[in-house]
Amino acid sequence: MFIETLFTEPIYFFRIIIIVIFSITLHELAHGWAAMSQGDNTPQKTGHLTLNPVVHMGKESIIFLCLMGIAWGQMPVNPSKFRSPKLGNILVSAAGPLSNLALGILFIVVLKLLGNLSLSGLFSVEFIYLAARINLILFLFNLLPIPPLDGFHVFSEIFPKLKPLENTQFGLFAMMLLFIIPEFGIGLSSIADLVIRSAIGVESLSF
């Protein structure tokens, strides 16, 4: 279990917790801001336009993150209020993963600067690398066309024949299958590592 990391690698444990909570909070806020831009004021009415992670994740998600290393968030939206239901749903659904992609790119840029300007003494290179890695993994994971992930809502608008799957057990079964297959997580991590190292150059890293 992930909680064991607290006793074996406490610094790594708290880095993961901080990065995931921060990244999920901005992910959900991106959904909310996108919904507001599409004419839906539900995020504002429900008090979800906040940086408070408990509002977006809930205590259960944060506890589960500490125990198992898995977390989730939620942003209430009302698609019926979107000016264009189809386009609105695509934009609002894509906003979350894109925020993680943007964060991943931002942290990669910081890593590049650390390598070029020798500023590693002012920042933790390991922490920035981990933040870039986690956000790229969140981006890739959330784009999977599996309900209830954001990728499903995007692809089901493009390919309407996928929509009936939302009301079946397919999503639950697929998610359970992904989490019990170690190679899946390893694959996402490997892709994230490849992107980061290709962007900054392996020689830029000193850890």
What residues act catalytically?
Answer: 28
Identify the DSSP state of 115: H
CB-based contacts of 90: which residues, under 8 Å, 6+ apart? 153, 154, 157, 158
- Residue 104, C-beta contacts closer than 8 angstroms, at least 6 positions apart: 132, 133, 135, 136, 139, 192, 195
For 46, which DSSP code? T
For residues 98 and 30, is the Cβ–Cβ distance under 8 A?
A: yes
Provide the 8-state DSSP code for 100: H
Distance CA 9, CA 48 (A): 33
CA dist 175 to 36, 168, 185, Å? 29, 13, 12
Tokens encoding 168: 């079946």
